[in-house]
Amino acid sequence: MAQEHLGSDLSVYRAYLGGERERGSPDLRAVPGHRVPPDQKPERDLAEVAGVDNLRQALVNRLLTRRGELADVGHPEYGSRLYELIGRPNSATQRNLAKLYVLETLAQEPRVDQEEMQVDVQPDPRDRNRVLIEIRVRPVGEDSPVALQVPFSFAGET
């Protein structure tokens, strides 16, 4: 199996095989539009995510977890500092801080080539409190980059 080194886990995002805009919304409930991977039966309650999709999910989990939140279970550095930006204005300065915090978080992931990380933070044209964080990384041992988009709200809404 290709990409075994990227691991596998339970799928916790509603658009398992959806496009980049549909990814990144945590939801453990079965929702309309949830697509079951072709290699799994539709009647299963849980789906597995592996390879590049597992890396995407792991990166989103790191970004959505507050740094220090898992200290009690032995992972004090796991997570991001994005939560520190909640309540601040959606300004160029704050977007640059968001980019810095995302880069810090990506540097924690051993499956990501530290030399090939790109992060772009742009205002969401539909919501003045939100930004769209575009991430491109190259997994260690892979030739192709992985892209994902993570929305972030300065108002603290998901």
- CATH number, domain with residue 53: 3.10.450.40
Is position 26 within any domain?
Answer: yes
Is position 158 within any domain?
Answer: no
Q: How many residues does the chain have?
A: 158
**Average pLDDT for the chain:** 80
Domain of residue 46 covers 4-153
Mean pLDDT of 34-50: 59
Banded pLDDT at 157 (limits 50, 70, 90): confident
The 10s digit of each residue's pLDDT in 116-141 is: 999 999 999 999 999 999 999 999 98
The strands making up 130-139's β-sheet, listed across from edge to edge, are 112-123, 130-139, 146-153
Is position 148 within any domain?
Answer: yes
Banded pLDDT at 107 (limits 50, 70, 90): very high
| Overall number of domains in the chain | 1
Least confident of 27-31, 63-67, 79-83, 93-97: 27-31
CA 111 to CA 124: how far, in whole Å? Answer: 29
Is it the case that residue 18 has pLDDT exceeding 60? no
Q: Which two tokens stand for residue 72?
A: 């009690």
- Looking at residue 9, what is its pLDDT? 67
Is position 25 within any domain?
Answer: yes
Is position 46 within any domain?
Answer: yes
User: Any idea what DSSP says for residue 146?
Assistant: E
Give the position of tokens 């990144």: 24
